[in-house]
Amino acid sequence: MRRRRPVTGPITTDGYPTSDGRPMAETDHHRLLMTALIESLTDHFAADNDTYVSGNLLVFYEEGNRRRHVSPDVMVAFDVPKHLRLHYKTWVEGKGPDVVIELTSATTKREDRTKKWKLYQDVLKVPEYFLFDPFGDYLNPRFQGYRLVRGEYQEMKFAGGRLRSRKLGLELEAVEDDLRLFDPRTGAFVPLRSERVAAEEKRAEAERLRRLRAEAENDRLRSELQELKRKLAGG
């Protein structure tokens, strides 16, 4: 999504930088969309300790060369331990990402469609590569997906307005200016983190009201029982 510049930013003790010194995203919308996708994927695979979800993280692909790196907007790697990383080294992890999503624009068109394309296809051999142009700057259709077949990317076909990711087990759909994840097993979109929080708060409130009603009912029954006892004692 972003133009490449010389490596800058903090250098770790192993000699590899943790930042390339460039802005996280092209626009506020790109940044918010990137964050939403990372959060949704992280939550979706929360129970899988061997699925790593990240984004805007430097991925180094040539040992000993700290200039050989790329920073996917969103990436998912299966069969690697889930833990926090300063950066991702393919020779340490034993593989590259399985899925990459780039939030593209006219400004980053050349990089996303040529340099990154060839890197993901020929070097990292990323099985699935998705491009989303939220403002429709140049992509038509503005959401496209590619699957690595015999070493070359082949365009995915839409089904019901969505592209199916075999790796994720999910379908992806452009909804207005957003990119949403659809789970065919549940027949619903993967909730955004804000939606999960709202749903949890709603459930907690419903449980609180249920307890209050139960306590009120218990109080009523106790009161009726005490009244009955008084009547029996007076009779």
User: pLDDT at position 129, please?
Assistant: 98
What are the tens digits of pLDDT across the range 54-63?
Answer: 999 999 999 9
Q: What pTM was estimated for this model as a whole?
A: 0.79
CA 194 to chain centre: 13
**13 to 10, 16, 61: CA distances (angstroms):** 10, 8, 18
* Spatial separation of the C-alpha atoms in residues 197 and 199, rounded to whole Å: 5
Six token digits for residue 26: 């092209």
Domain edges within the chain: 28-191, 192-235
User: pLDDT at position 76, please?
Assistant: 98
User: pLDDT at position 225, please?
Assistant: 78
Q: Are 96 and 77 in contact (CB under 8 A)?
A: yes
The 8-class DSSP code of residue 111 comes to: I
Output Rg (C-alpha) for the chain, integer angstroms. Answer: 25
Q: Are 165 and 78 in contact (CB under 8 A)?
A: no
Non-local CB neighbours of 55 within 8 Å, separated by 6+ positions: 34, 37, 38, 72, 73, 74, 75
User: pLDDT at position 223, please?
Assistant: 82
Work out the burial of residue 228: count CB atoms within 10 Å of its CB; fewer than 13 is exposed, 13-18 middle, 19 or more buried.
exposed
Question: What's the topology of domain 28-191?
Answer: tt1808, chain A (3.90.1570)
In the predicted model, residues of the chain with pLDDT beneath 50 are 2-7
